[in-house]
Structure 1
Amino acid sequence: MLDSVTAFFERIFNAIGRFIGMVIAGILFPFVTMGRWYRQRGFILKAVLGAIVVMVIGLYGYFFWQTQVWTNFNPAYAQAYTKAKDAPGVEVAGGKCATSGLVQATADLINFNVDENAWISSMVLYKMGFFGIDWDHTPFFDNKASFQRGVNQAIRRTTVELVDTLGRVRGTSQVDGNLQSARGNTQFDESTWYFSFSPFGPKTPTPAFYRAAARDLVKYNESLANCTSIFDARTDNLIQFIDRIAADVGSTSAILRDRSENYNAGWFDTRADDRFWFAFGQLYGYYGILVAARGDFQEVINQKNLAQLWATMEQQLAAALKIQPFIISNGNESGWIMPTHLATMGFYVLRFRSNLVEVRAILDR
């Protein structure tokens, strides 16, 4: 009896071993075949193919490094914009005027996205995907790209508001050329590489447009410093800016809620990570922008007794940025094995939006 049971398990383990061997052999077969073919080629062909292989390995090494290393990522970065300052455009000393912290924060975020880090979404290997599968549909190498796109969403919204309201008097004066250019450049497609097949031909890559937008914002701040541009820090402009941000994060909250409610695959939800990191990036961007905006709109905030509520909003944004799980899980909210990071992030996004709505209500009184 014992011998038959032992023999049974031996057959099972032997079958498993043969199966694993067949899988490994199947994986190695193309490489072994290519190796045999390569050894039979001439020196020149070997050198050309070897150079191509080295280039591909180098590209993938660079790609993996850039997707995993987040240079100067700092959830507390917004503290650099807390220093008290005069309202933008107000003359200070020596015939100079104060600049905008909001504009500087936006330009800094662009530099963080495309200069201090590589812009992942337009890299050729990111566009190629994982054996033809979009990286966003895999659990690999897409977190940084999603985070950058979230930051960029905050940048885009801010540049639109700078053109439409903040950078001119009551929306009736002439649009500032630097702000107009910055808005156009930040709206550029996020995934353009140096070459495209549709339409066919060379292209200016996405990061070049975003760098141009950062330069445009710096030029606008320089013109503010020279007292030749306008920053209209009125209550109604701040109300509109808050409204637009609230609508923006409201859309993100809906996306998180939909994914959390309809897909409960836990650690196996391959889209949960890009949803999470997009929302994280969006909050990361708005954190610095709103901390800087407090200085630009200091007079309005003081008049409306908003200082405490504004500080609370900043604290809650800072708290949201402390959520940095190693692996994103989209578990059931009533589950106990797999956490539900999307629902947690959705809670912080909604809390931020509630703060914005409360600020807006007080401003409108």
Structure 2
Amino acid sequence: MSRFGISSLKKLIQNKNSSRAIVVMAVILVLLAGVGVTAIRTQVADQQVMPVSGEIANDAEIAPLVFRSAYFSLERELNDSAVGWVPNDLMISPTAWFDNKENLQRGIIFATRGIINVFTTNFARSGSGEELNKHLLKAQTSSFPYAEDVWMFASSESRYKEGIKSINSYLKDLENDKAVFNVKTDDLYVLMNTLESLIEMPQSRLKTGVKSHFEADDAIYFAKGVCLVVRDVLNTVTRAYPELMNRGGKQNITVALETLDIIALFNPLYVFAGGNKIGDSMAPNQVQALASKLDITANRLRDVKLALDK
């Protein structure tokens, strides 16, 4: 800084009115920063599991609950999120910097796609030779596979909402006896296998693909998004089919759901990747901590799956 600049700065500080203005501005900036951090953290805070209350009497009640569990978290992001669908926001948008929210939503749509495939192919027809319901086929092949970062023409949000609408059209067909909902033990086995695979994908990424703090939070919040969907589906299906609890082991499912609840609560002020190849082995390793929780969940789901295969 030049002598003129230093002199001007001294005069500004020495002036009482100017000093007060500087203090006020500093306080405002701190408050704004605090509000910003709080807003960002709130957007990835604890997400409650899809509520399932009372006794589930028959297939007419099971089908809407089961299908809704697949898109419950996605619908919440589309309709209830204060920042909307972030992955397709342009770089000029302030929300484009909410990378934790972005990765959470990417994890949610990734898991939703996999589960809708199972429900469409296995739950919504009587046998492998039967034709798929046209509404579910549209959701499976056109709506949910749509890229999550498209912002113009047919946006990602509009396609995903279209997919949810298609599922509701299938459920309407089901009410009018124009569609099928038929779940067998083999179908539950396929579902458990899919849930296990969905967990293993982010688990593998956490174990081998994270080399810095910046990569750590992306991987962790993607994993959290996947787990939110898996938790909704596992909780709903085990409530709808209590025999799954008995055959697969009540303890296995209880521990899996409890572990998924812990993952849903994960929302630190800062994500540390201690122990990775960045020279900071003294820092906490939250990557490894979350990977161990995913290990527990995957192992429990595998035990349930194997019990169904006996």
Judge conservation of contact 1:166–1:237 (CA < 8 Å) in 2: yes
- Check if 1:163 corresponds to 2:106: no
Change (3 A) 1:222 1:311: farther
Change (3 A) 1:173 1:300: farther
- TM score, norm. by length of structure 1: 0.67
The alpha-carbon deviation at position 222 of structure 1 amounts to: 2.9
Q: Which amino acid aligns with 1:278?
A: F
Judge conservation of contact 1:107–1:217 (CA < 8 Å) in 2: no
**Alignment partner, residue 309 of structure 1:** 252
Q: Which amino acid aligns with 1:241?
A: L
**Alignment partner, residue 187 of structure 2:** 237
The alpha-carbon deviation at position 326 of structure 1 amounts to: 1.3
**Alignment partner, residue 352 of structure 1:** 297
**Alignment partner, residue 54 of structure 1:** none
Instruction: Return the alpha-carbon distance in structure 1 between the equivalents of residues 111 and 233 of structure 2.
Output: 8
1:34-82 alpha-carbon deviations (Å, 9 max, x no partner): xxxxxxxxxxxxxxxxxxxxxxxxxxxxxx899827569643333x125
1:122-174 alpha-carbon deviations (Å, 9 max, x no partner): 11237x899xxxx6xxxx52000000111111111111111221111132212
Instruction: Return the alpha-carbon distance in structure 2 between the equivalents of residues 252 and 72 of structure 1.
Output: 17
> Which of 270, 278, 281 in structure 2 is aligned with 1:327?
270
**Alignment partner, residue 75 of structure 1:** 47
Judge conservation of contact 1:153–1:282 (CA < 8 Å) in 2: yes
- SS of the equivalent of 2:181 reads coil
- TM score, norm. by length of structure 2: 0.79
Q: Which amino acid aligns with 2:305?
A: R
User: Pairwise mapping of residues 90-101 of structure 1 onto structure 2 (< 5 A)?
Assistant: 99-101=63-65
**Alignment partner, residue 84 of structure 1:** 55
> Which of 36, 60, 67 in structure 2 is aligned with 1:103?
67
Q: Which amino acid aligns with 2:56?
A: K
- Check if 1:113 corresponds to 2:68: no
**Alignment partner, residue 208 of structure 1:** 158
Unaligned runs of at least 5 residues, structure 2: 7-35
**Alignment partner, residue 146 of structure 1:** 103
Change (3 A) 1:330 1:73: closer
1:1-55 alpha-carbon deviations (Å, 9 max, x no partner): xxxxxxxxxxxxxxxx66xx89xxxxxxxxxxxxxxxxxxxxxxxxxxxxxxxxx
Judge conservation of contact 1:67–1:141 (CA < 8 Å) in 2: no
Judge conservation of contact 1:178–1:220 (CA < 8 Å) in 2: yes
**Alignment partner, residue 150 of structure 2:** 192
167-176 or 225-234, which deviates more: 225-234
Q: Which amino acid aligns with 2:223?
A: A
**Alignment partner, residue 215 of structure 2:** 271
1:319-362 alpha-carbon deviations (Å, 9 max, x no partner): 22222211111111797741111111111111111011000111
Change (3 A) 1:244 1:159: same
Instruction: Return the alpha-carbon distance in structure 2 between the equivalents of residues 340 and 145 of structure 1.
Output: 22
Change (3 A) 1:300 1:336: closer
Q: Which amino acid aligns with 1:318?
A: D
Q: Which amino acid aligns with 1:316?
A: T
Q: Which amino acid aligns with 1:99?
A: A
Instruction: Return the alpha-carbon distance in structure 1 between the equivalents of residues 192 and 131 of structure 2.
Output: 23
The percentage of counterpart residues that share the same residue type is 16
Instruction: Return the alpha-carbon distance in structure 2 between the equivalents of residues 213 and 65 of structure 1.
Output: 33
Instruction: Return the alpha-carbon distance in structure 2 between the equivalents of residues 87 and 335 of structure 1.
Output: 55
Change (3 A) 1:98 1:274: closer
- SS of the equivalent of 1:270 reads helix
Instruction: Return the alpha-carbon distance in structure 1 between the equivalents of residues 235 and 37 of structure 2.
Output: 31
Instruction: Return the alpha-carbon distance in structure 1 between the equivalents of residues 45 and 164 of structure 2.
Output: 18
- Check if 1:364 corresponds to 2:309: yes
Change (3 A) 1:72 1:338: closer
The alpha-carbon deviation at position 177 of structure 1 amounts to: 1.5
Judge conservation of contact 2:138–2:163 (CA < 8 Å) in 1: yes
216-225 or 240-249, which deviates more: 216-225
